[in-house]
Amino acid sequence: MYNWKELLGYINGEIAAMPLDRKPSELYAPIRYVLSMGGKRIRPVLMLMAYNLFKDDVTAIRSQAVAIEIYHNYTLLHDDLMDRADMRRGMPTVHRKWNDNAAVLSGDSMLVMAYRFMQRGCPEGRLDEVMELFTETALEIGEGQQYDIEFETRRDVGEEEYIEMIRLKTSVLLACALKMGACLAGAPGEDADLLYRFGECLGLAFQLQDDYLDVYGDPAVFGKKIGGDILCNKKTYMLINAFCRAQGEEREALQSWIDKKEGTFRPEEKIAAVTSLYDKMGIRELCDEKIRFYFEQACRILDEVRLPQERKKPLWDMAQSLLNRKF
Amino acid sequence: MYNWKELLGYINGEIAAMPLDRKPSELYAPIRYVLSMGGKRIRPVLMLMAYNLFKDDVTAIRSQAVAIEIYHNYTLLHDDLMDRADMRRGMPTVHRKWNDNAAVLSGDSMLVMAYRFMQRGCPEGRLDEVMELFTETALEIGEGQQYDIEFETRRDVGEEEYIEMIRLKTSVLLACALKMGACLAGAPGEDADLLYRFGECLGLAFQLQDDYLDVYGDPAVFGKKIGGDILCNKKTYMLINAFCRAQGEEREALQSWIDKKEGTFRPEEKIAAVTSLYDKMGIRELCDEKIRFYFEQACRILDEVRLPQERKKPLWDMAQSLLNRKF
């Protein structure tokens, strides 16, 4: 059995060795750029771990593991374009470094490449199932991104639909990675489905923690500036619940901070004020509980997978360290 | 054996019956819009015809035929976005009717849907081959689009690289449609390859004719205004060759028309002047000959497919009518 670090090293080696030498080079340069930015490679590692629950030769599915990482990076590329984000992992985004058209077209080719790697070297008899799962997941992720865009201009987003949005936008890809690893290993369908649900819950916990850390993370280790979501009024789990709960004065205070025009206040002022409102309203505890709820649900589901505990240790460890991150 | 009209009706029925009722509806509305715009459905019809050379039950590959039409429409959607085109088939383009993000995201989901339809109901044992061919074609089409974008800002585009660009951007999809139809029918590899090359040549003739008709088409039947390519200095087969051949006064005249700022001349004036330069330099005949050359090559290749002539009649007829169009 391999641990995260070993599998991460393996995946990074595979990605670095990818031949990206087709012409025209201007089309493939942004793809090389995006794939060389690094990242935690969570999805391919989860896929290899799920495979490794049932089979030892993880190299047999290296192509599918690379595929899911290419796919994930394509979504980041196009999402950054749609969100007009300037930076990703400390580097300029593709549409900033090149231009919008390069971001559209190189992203499109990455999606096609993801399908190529999904298909190539797919273990005998598994291709249909793999394609079906991958395609359904890709459609759902597009749906999640659409909801995310729509939520930006809505004032009445509820907790339930927010959870459904992050499930589609984030969780289903972790779930897909895990289930696909199991399917590729020829695991029983029930176990593959359990791993899918484990990934869903883990993804929800992970995304809610992202919301939480933006407010309550340790600035020394968080990597990004604390309070970024507050400053741009991003509809996070925190803000949505604050809105649902706020009454009277609290509601007025929250609304007035949201409506304030940029430049009419110091950023720290808004961050401190909104954080203090969250604190007063118990939003911190609410989010913390929700993270725990999904994490514990994930653990219960992984527990149901009919394998010895020690076999599942790398997955336990990875889930733990994903949720213990302060960055 | 089915003719074009019958197969067109069949495909239009299949596309109209596609369930596009997933949520959020804002994501799928542009997809429905684009697919309902109509069009000649050349690619799915070619696929069905190629299949029909070898097998009778064309409905067996309806999913793959729909897939290639969805794919083609996705390329139009994203190309229109990149080209900032306002209209397509007499209707506003998706980024004009909705916005840029809708065009990016709905286009992405169309590409994923194309893969879904490619995979679903694929005849036993053919999936790997179908996916490989489709993906390679999709990569090539992205490469063609990239060349097309790069050519816009280059002054030294030669005839050969122009032909390679339109081969990638246009021809390989016709070629892929034909070869895939043959593969799906279990045709001998040699015949499938011949049909691929037939499609390549037909596509080149077809695209060159597009360039030709923009200048020499009958305005009453062309559908678009004559001279559109001339007005926007589009690097067509005509302009590229005019540039290669022009000397002395002719070169100066051509260059000065290209450099003239919009609004400083009447459109008809520029169209008439550039057309007259083409006429003097024999560009009309040159293009006409090239169209014939590729069309005749296509015919020779189709001739080599080892089937009775009558079996190939629908394909002959379609090739003829594609090249006889004045619109």
For residue A309, give how far its alpha carbon lies from the nearest alpha carbon of chain B (Å): 37
Angle between helices A189-216 and A313-324 (to 10 degrees): 20
Least CB–CB distance from A146: residue in B27, B127, B128? B27
Interface pTM, i.e. ipTM: 0.96
Cβ-defined contact of A142 to B109 (cutoff 8 Å): yes
What tens-digit pLDDT sequence spans chain A (327 residues)?
A: 899 999 999 999 999 999 999 999 999 999 999 999 989 999 999 999 999 999 999 999 999 999 999 999 999 999 999 999 999 999 999 999 999 999 999 999 999 999 999 999 999 999 999 999 999 999 999 999 999 999 999 989 999 999 999 999 999 999 999 999 999 999 999 999 999 999 999 999 999 999 999 999 988 777 678 999 999 999 999 999 999 999 999 999 999 999 999 899 999 999 999 999 999 999 999 999 999 999 999 999 999 999 999 999 999 999 999 988 654
Least CB–CB distance from A131: residue in B100, B111, B119? B119
B91 beta partners: B88
Amino acid B200: pLDDT: 98
Least CB–CB distance from B135: residue in A112, A122, A128? A112
Contact list, B113 vs chain A (CB under 8 Å) = 139
pLDDT at B2 over 80: yes
How many CA atoms, within 13 angstroms, populate the side-chain half-sphere of residue B144? 20
What phi and psi values does residue A88 have, to the nearest 5 degrees? -150, 125
For residue A3, give how far its alpha carbon lies from the nearest alpha carbon of chain B (Å): 32
The sign one gets for the Cα dihedral B98, B102, B107, B113 is negative
Least CB–CB distance from B142: residue in A109, A116, A120? A109
What integer is the mean pLDDT of B214-237? 88
DSSP A60: G
pLDDT at B327 over 50: no
Let me know how many helices (H) and strands (E) chain B has, helices first. Answer: 17, 2
pLDDT at B326 over 70: no
Least CB–CB distance from B139: residue in A112, A136, A150? A112
Least CB–CB distance from B104: residue in A78, A109, A139? A78
Q: How far apart are CA A232 and CA B311, in angstroms?
A: 65
DSSP B170: I
Amino acid B220: pLDDT: 79
Q: How far apart are CA B120 and CA B214, in angstroms?
A: 39
For residue B166, give how far its alpha carbon lies from the nearest alpha carbon of chain A (Å): 14
Cβ-defined contact of A111 to B108 (cutoff 8 Å): yes
| Token pair belonging to A31 | 């793809």
Q: How far apart are CA B179 and CA A255, in angstroms?
A: 61
| Cα angle for residues A295, A296, A299 (degrees, 5° grid) | 90
Write down the pTM of the prediction: 0.97
Amino acid A92: pLDDT: 97
* Contacts of residue A107, Cβ cutoff 8 Å, sequence gap at least 6: A74, A77, A78, A81, A94, B108
* Contacts of residue A239, Cβ cutoff 8 Å, sequence gap at least 6: A229, A230, A233
Cβ-defined contact of A104 to B112 (cutoff 8 Å): no
- Spatial CA neighbour of B242 closest among B268, B216, B279: B279
Cβ-defined contact of B116 to A139 (cutoff 8 Å): yes
Q: Name the residue in chain B with its Cα closest to that of A121.
A: B128
Q: How far apart are CA A293 and CA A305, in angstroms?
A: 19
Contact list, B131 vs chain A (CB under 8 Å) = 115, 119, 127, 131
Let me know how many helices (H) and strands (E) chain A has, helices first. Answer: 17, 2
Q: How far apart are CA A32 and CA A16, in angstroms?
A: 9
For residue A16, give how far its alpha carbon lies from the nearest alpha carbon of chain B (Å): 20
- Backbone Cα Rg of chain B: 21
Find the chain B residues whose C-beta atoms sit closer than 8 A to any C-beta of A.
22-24, 26-27, 78, 81-82, 100-101, 104-105, 107-109, 111-113, 115-116, 119-120, 122, 127-128, 131-132, 135, 138-139, 142-143, 145-147, 149-150
* Contacts of residue A297, Cβ cutoff 8 Å, sequence gap at least 6: A201
Tokens 């800002």 correspond to: B153
Distance between alpha carbon B218 and the CA centroid of its chain, in Å? Answer: 20
Q: How far apart are CA A87 and CA A80, in angstroms?
A: 8
**What average pLDDT does the structure give for chain B?**
95
Find the chain A residues whose C-beta atoms sit closer than 8 A to any C-beta of B.
22-24, 26-27, 78, 81-82, 100-101, 104-105, 107-109, 111-113, 115-116, 119-120, 122, 127-128, 131-132, 135-136, 138-139, 142-143, 145-147, 149-150
DSSP secondary structure letters along A176-233? HHHHHHHHHTT--HHHHHHHHHHHHHHHHHHHHHHHHHHHHS-HHHHSSPTTHHHHTT
* Contacts of residue A240, Cβ cutoff 8 Å, sequence gap at least 6: A157, A158, A159, A162
Amino acid A77: pLDDT: 98
Q: How far apart are CA B183 and CA B160, in angstroms?
A: 30
| Token pair belonging to A116 | 């190529």
